[in-house]
Amino acid sequence: MVADIAYLQQTQQDIDQLQALLERQRQAYRSNPMPTAGQRQQWLKSLADLLVNEQQAIIDAVSRDFSNRSADETLLAEIMPGLHGVHYARKRVARWMKPSRRSVGMQFMPASAKVISQPLGVVGVIVPWNYPIFLAVGPLTAALAAGNRVMIKMSESTPATAQVFKDLLAKIFPEDLVAVVQGEVDVGVAFSKLPFDHLLFTGATSVGKHVMRAAAENLTPVTLELGGKSPALVSDSVPIKDAAERIAFGKSLNAGQTCVAPDYVLVPQQRVEEFISAYREVVQGFYPSVQNNPDYTAIINERQLSRLKGYLSDAEARGAKIVPVLPEGDGRRLPQALLLNVDDEMKVMQDEIFGPLLPIIPYKGLDEALAYINERPRPLALYYFGYDKREQEHVLAHTHSGGVCLNDTLLHVAQDDMPFGGVGPSGMGHYHGHEGFLTFSKAKGVFSKPRFNAAKVIYPPYGKSLQKLVYKLFIR
């Protein structure tokens, strides 16, 4: 009972601290509601310098949380794309801020119209554990470019990274500009209930529903970056080594703990064995061993490891064939495996896998493969492998997904000049690049009249001859 009271008191204290922090950021925003381009560029420069100068501290912290995260994967998938996104926004933010002139109809002349991009205020960002730096830096970059204050809730599963990131950001930003929040699930729940001016959540679809429900109480607009089962579709004509190599990279990075990792692969029925052979050869070339291999990233924690092993046990019990790709690992290094003879009754085909397991679905024709994809919830990403242009266009026109790679995996996320976001169960809204700036800005329409007021001709009383002339001219 005493423990319960202490827990409730601590929870209320956390909520009070969050609300006080939000109010400090609101006050700071009100004191500077339209930061100049120069101020925003300086914020972004400070962030870029931090990523460059503190990369080793970041690499070490992330690896501690994972028990082993490949240093190169942190560089390639977190620091490098995060840094490039900052550079991209910094170079363009002054142009993005310029008012956009809009046309005015003849019937409203003389007048002018424009749209200005105004900072929303305070933006909340909820970060997942799988890429804790990139998925914090990306939204932070867009929110700062748009002139906002930012509160970031880091994942409770990456406490070392959260602490290092908090300490590093405190060196370059005051807390009323950028603040990092730590804490367990209850803090995350309280964070999602705050009346932000915008809330961006990256994580599981199931949690996204709760976040959206909490935000709705405050009418807080949300951007949801979720996940789902992103398919890879191998055509009948593509060289199998090309497809296997690129799919293997997408599934191997971060041990498959990636929201846009290929979740299952559709392979022509007559090419399944060829694909398995090529895939195993590629992955074994990536990782000659698993045990003590610093390049092979571990599963984030025991709970996630148990979940993935449960998928394997459930699938095997229901008749799936498990094809090992690598030998057993040590610690939480779960070796890659392919799964054959899978069906929708298996957990591995119901939930997003988020790990190094890859089911193979044989198909007889392209339309059958597309029907399989379209019968399921719309995914965050879709990967098509085939060089026939007409077939590529057919796939694009007949599927829905957040984004697409043709003949590759994952890399569309790193393109700063493209929006990133899901559709339906895989999310809503976009960020990255200019779309991120727009997401965290209010597009305010401004209609301006001079002293002369031609509109007086339509004022009451009605029925005047000039009014009738207006109707003749403009209602036709």
Q: How does the average pLDDT of the chain come out, rounded?
A: 94
The pair of three-digit structure tokens given for residue 366, joined into one six-digit string? 């392209």
For 162-205, what is each residue's pLDDT tens digit? 999 999 999 999 999 999 999 999 999 999 999 999 999 999 99
Catalytically annotated residue among 73, 245, 259, 405: 259
pLDDT tens for each residue of 422-440: 999 999 999 999 999 999 9
> Tokens standing for 144?
């700062």
- Please determine, for residue 305, whether its predicted confidence score (pLDDT) is greater than 60: yes
Q: For 340-398, write each residue's pLDDT tens digit.
A: 999 999 999 999 999 999 999 999 999 999 999 999 999 999 999 999 999 999 999 99
Q: What is the DSSP string of 204-235?
A: -HHHHHHHHHHHHTTT--EEEE-----EEEE-
Q: Is the pLDDT of residue 12 over 70?
A: no
How far apart CA 343 and CA 18 sit, in angstroms, is 45
Model pLDDT, residue 328 = 86
Residue 8 is predicted with a pLDDT of: 46
Q: Looking at residues 235-244, what average pLDDT do you find? A: 96
Is it the case that residue 3 has pLDDT exceeding 50? no
Choice among 11-20, 202-211, 237-246 with the minimum mean pLDDT: 11-20
- How many helices, marked H, and strands, marked E, lie in the chain? 16, 16
Q: What is the pLDDT of residues 125-173, one digit of tens each?
A: 999 999 999 999 999 999 999 999 999 999 999 999 999 999 999 999 9
- 259 is a catalytic site residue: yes
Name the pLDDT band for 227 (thresholds 50, 70, 90): confident
Classify the phi-psi angles of 371: left when phi > 0, otherwise alpha if psi is within -120 to 50, otherwise beta: alpha
> How sure is the predictor about 458, in pLDDT bands with cuts at 50, 70 and 90?
confident
User: Which residue out of 225, 245, 352, 405 is catalytically annotated?
Assistant: 225
Residue 2 pLDDT exceeds 50: no
Walk me through the domains of the chain, giving residue ranges and CATH numbers: 2-226+428-443 (3.40.605.10), 231-416 (3.40.309.10)
Cis peptide before 461 (omega within 30 of 0): yes
pLDDT at 104 over 90: yes
Active site residue 368: no
Other Cβ atoms less than 10 A from the Cβ of 216: the count is: 10
